Structure 1
C-alpha cells in the first residue's frame, strides 16, 4: 500500500513566520474560476479572498478551518466525498483543494491583465516553495505544511497546476481534443497525483486510473461550464468539434440553442462518461478508507452528466448543480451499486 507518512525528512516545523493579512491575501490572489456550482452562467461568486474572512496569524487548526470553508463554499460537488474521509486525510484534502482553488482564483482575476496575473501566480508559487521549506505565511499554506508532515504530496503536482493556471491567462481556445488533453494534464492530472498521495493506493496502476478519473471530472467541468466560460472569453470545447457539429463561436456567444449544439454537448457528455468508465478499477486500488469518498466525488459529477443529458442546452443558461436531496440520492445509490456511472 502506497501511503507515505512524510514526517521524516520534511520541513522541521509549520511555523507561520509572517502571517499574511486579509489585505495581503487579496493582493496575492483573487476571483473564482468555477464559482458556486448552482450559480447562473456568467454571474459567479466573489473570490475566496474577498468572500471569506482571512484569519490573522492563525493556528494550524484555524488554518485548516479556513481551508474547510473554501472547500465547502466553492467545491460543493467535491466536498460530498470529502466528508467521508478519515479526519487526517480529510483535513489534508481541504488544504490541497484550497491551495489549488486559490491559484484558480488568480487566473480569473488576472484574465484581463495577463502580466499582473502572471506575477500573482509567481508570488503564489514562491509561497508554495516556502511551504515546502517549512516557512508558510498564508493560512492555506500553514495548513498544507502541516498536511505534508503526514502525506508525501509531490510539489511538482502543485507546480503543474499553477502552470495550467498560467496557461488560462493567455490561451482561451483549443484547436483539437488532443490539445485540450494537454491542458488537462497540467490541471486535472496534477489534482489526481495530489489526491492519490493523500488517499493511498496499492499498485502503480492506480496512477493511470486516477488520471482517467481526473480527466473525467475536468471534461465534466468543460461541458457544464460552457456558458459560464463564455463570460471570460474562454471556449474549451475543441474548435474542430465545433466545426464538425456546425456550431460557430457566434452561435455560442449569441447562445443559439440549435440541434447542432445539442449534438455537440451530447458528444462531450459521452466522452466524459467514457473516462469515468475507464476509471472504475481505481476504486479497488485505493486504500479502503478512501474508496467510498472517491466513489462519491466521481458519482456526483457523473450524475451532473446524467442531468445534462436530459437538457443539454441548459449549459448556455446556467451552471447545473445538484440539490442537497439529489446528493443524498447519489450517496444512497452508490451504497447499493458502487459505480461512478449508473446503469
Structure 2
C-alpha cells in the first residue's frame, strides 16, 4: 500500500499500516482486475476496500483451497476460529492476524455493522456441507450471507446521498444479482465439486435434476431440459438486476461510475451466455472485446467487493472466469462474491 493512500486515510500506526499493506498485497496478487479498478477510487477509500477484500479472501481460501488436505470438519473449525478472532478484534482486542486487524479498523472507521461479517462466515461454513437448495427462498437465505452482505459492507465506504438504510436494500440486491450471474456462469465448474446453485424447484419445473447436469458435463452432450432451465434462471436474474438499478443514483457521485460499470459488465456476461446458447456445461461464454472497451476508463472502478468480476484483463473477459472485480471467490475457484456485490 502506498504511503499516500495510508496517509490520506489517516492510518498512522505502524502495525496498522503493515496490516493494511498485507491486505493490499493479497488484493494485488489475487484480485488483479479488482485491484486495478480499486486504484481508481478516491485515495483515502482504497485501504478500506483492500481490508474488506483481504478478509473475504482469507475466509474463502479456507473453504475453497483445493490443494489442502483438510477435511470439511477441519475447515469448519478453521472458519469458527477465524470468526472468534474477528469478534475479539472488533471488540478492540489486539489482533495478530493482519487481515483481522485491518478489517476491525475499517469496520470502526466506517461504522460497518458487525453482523455482516457473522452472516458472511455462516454462509461460508454452509458451503462445506450444503451442495444444493430446494427453493429460491432457501437459496436466498444463503445468498444473503454470501453476497448481499458484501454490498452492505461496501456501502459505507462508497458513500450515499440518502440515509444508508434507504440505499441498503438496493446495495444488497445488486450484490445478490451479481452473484447469481456468477453462479450461472460457473455452473459447469460447480457441478464438479458437487455444488449446484440452482433451486431444486426450478429444476423440477423443467423436469431436470443434478444427475442430468453431471451427465451432460461429463459426456459433452447437450440436454434439452438443461437448456430450458438455464434461460429461465437468466430471466429471473435479470429481473432482480433491474430491481436493484435505482440504488446506483443513491450512491455518492464519486462511487456511481464503479457500480454503473459493474452493471454494464455483468449484463455483458448474461448477454454472452445467451448468445452462446447456454452451453455453459461444455464451454465458457466469452464477452466480446468491444463490450468492456466501450466502458470509459474513468468509469472502471471497483463495483463489487469480494467474490470479484473479471479474472482476466478487460480486453478479453472470459465469462466462465470473470469473477475478480467483486472481490473474493474470491476466492480456488472465483468468488462465488462472493464476492461480488456493491
**CA 1:300–1:14 in 2, change beyond 3 Å: closer, same or farther?**
farther
**CA 1:150–1:334 in 2, change beyond 3 Å: closer, same or farther?**
closer
| Cα shift at 1:89 | 1.9
1:80–1:297 CA contact under 8 A, matched in 2? no
Aligned residue pairs, count: 281
* 1:168 partnered with 2:127: yes
Deviates more, 1:165-174 or 1:127-136: 127-136
Unaligned 5+ segments in structure 1 are 1-11, 17-57, 336-343
| Residue 280 (structure 2) aligns with | 315
Query: 1:245 aligned to 200, 206, 220, which one?
Result: 206
Query: 2:22 aligned to 63, 85, 95, which one?
Result: 63
* 1:99 partnered with 2:99: no
Equivalent-residue separation in structure 2 for 1:267 and 1:238 (angstroms):
11
| Residue 53 (structure 1) aligns with | none
Unaligned 5+ segments in structure 2 are 1-11, 301-342
- TM-score w.r.t. the length of structure 1 is 0.73
Equivalent-residue separation in structure 1 for 2:277 and 2:253 (angstroms):
36
* 1:222 partnered with 2:178: no
2:131–2:196 CA contact under 8 A, matched in 1? yes
SS in 2 for 1:59: helix
Query: 1:156 aligned to 115, 128, 142, which one?
Result: 115
Equivalent-residue separation in structure 1 for 2:286 and 2:102 (angstroms):
29
| Residue 200 (structure 1) aligns with | 159
Query: 2:72 aligned to 109, 114, 119, which one?
Result: 114
Give the superposed CA RMSD: 2.9
**CA 1:112–1:275 in 2, change beyond 3 Å: closer, same or farther?**
farther
Equivalent-residue separation in structure 1 for 2:251 and 2:205 (angstroms):
39
Equivalent positions of 1:1-343 (< 5 A) are 15=15, 59-60=18-19, 62-70=21-29, 72-73=31-32, 76=33, 78=34, 81-109=37-65, 113-132=71-90, 133=92, 135-148=94-107, 150-201=109-160, 202-203=162-163, 204-255=165-216, 256-320=221-285, 322=287, 326-331=291-296
- TM-score w.r.t. the length of structure 2 is 0.73
| Cα shift at 1:94 | 2.1
| Cα shift at 1:168 | 0.9
**CA 1:264–1:126 in 2, change beyond 3 Å: closer, same or farther?**
same
**CA 1:107–1:317 in 2, change beyond 3 Å: closer, same or farther?**
same
1:15–1:135 CA contact under 8 A, matched in 2? no
1:121–1:162 CA contact under 8 A, matched in 2? yes
Equivalent-residue separation in structure 1 for 2:176 and 2:278 (angstroms):
22
1:262–1:313 CA contact under 8 A, matched in 2? yes
> Stretches of 4+ moved more than 6 A in 1?
332-335
